[in-house]
A and B are shown apart, each in its own frame.
Chain A
Amino acid sequence: MASSHHIVPVKALIGTFIALLGLTAVTVLVTFIDLGPALNLVLALLIAGIKASLVLFVFMALRWDSGYNVLIVLSSFLFIALFAVFVIADFAFRDSIDPIEKQTFGLESPVKPLSEAHPYNAH
């Protein structure tokens, strides 16, 4: 295991701070450029991802930390990605897989009585 007592050089800290402020300005500026909603969202998440990485790797010194701690953090992000992709995919493709289920996720009435949803199950 690498020594955890790494002292991050102050120049790296100041540089990161300036980069974070600069990227915050970029975040605001790209909102005023219309690239279409999808691309704007991807760009916003990309910039936020870069900022989060700067905080993680420099301010939180993950760059000099043991591989084990890096693995913990990266696996957390991996599981968030899995979580998001599967839930959104469910909402995006539910209609096409089972037409009977169409609109059952409508937020006015998210739940149906069991007897109504599955009449053959009503005893």
Chain B
Amino acid sequence: MLKSVPHHVAHHFEDADQEFDAAKIGMWLFLAQELLFFSALFVGYGVFRFLHPEMFLHASKLLSWKMGLVNTMVLITSSFTMVLAVWMTQMNRVRESIRLLWATAGLAMVFMVIKYFEYSSKIHHGYLPGSWFSAADAYEHLHLFFTCYFLITGLHGIHVLIGVGLILWLIRKSKQGLLHKDYYTPLEMVGLYWHLVDIVWIFVFPLLYLVG
């Protein structure tokens, strides 16, 4: 058993529960903002798809839905290991929690490696948008689909990498005995963030990879 370091409630809170609830409201506000933030890209996607439905149908087939499916499974599994890591700490089983956090970070890296292979193949085909776009295609607006693809998955990928950083920070804190059944606020908050990254991907997968 790792030695637990007691947590001191900040002086402006009445007790640990109030401190936890305040942190949680702040986290949910941040996540609500994250959803709005991502929604701008999804609405942009909606407008382009509305204007060019056949092109989207065609362009979606240029992506590998199998890679998208594997990545969906990987990310859902990582959400599950994350929620179990929180549960283990709530049960004061910190060592198991650390192992599950490593698993979560590992799955996140598997996700990014698959993404890397996907990106290389798309860039190789000249689908990188803007002045790099060089693919000749029957649809002259093809670049719009790939603008959506790279912006949405790119912003999501940045969130995954930030998540990995936060999980490594949690592993460090757990090893120092700072997270235990009486205090696990950072673990729970990063968990919420990680699930939100999963939720965004849940919408990305059918909208980009499975248009028709």
Give the interface of A toward B (CB within 8 A). 1, 3-5, 7-8, 10, 13, 17, 20-21, 24, 27-28, 31, 34, 37, 40, 44-45, 47-48, 51-52, 55-56, 59-60, 65-66, 68-69, 72-73, 75-77, 79-80, 83-84, 87-88, 91-92, 107
Contact = CB atoms under 8 A, between A and B. Distances in A.
B46 to A, nearest CB: 6
Contacts of A65: 24
The dominant DSSP class at the B interface is helix
Contacts, number: 130
A27 B212 contact: no
B35 A80 contact: yes
B207 A44 contact: yes
B148 interface: no
Given A4-B24, A91-B47, A37 B212 contact: yes
Interface in B164-201: 191-192, 195-196, 198-199
B141 interface: yes
Interface residues of B, number: 51
B119 interface: no
A83 B17 contact: no
A10 B65 CA distance: 32
A59 B32 CA distance: 16
B84 interface: yes
A37 B57 contact: yes
The 4 closest A-B pairs by CB, nearest first: A76-B32, A44-B206, A80-B39, A17-B80
Given A37-B53, A66-B21, A10 B210 contact: no
B135 interface: no
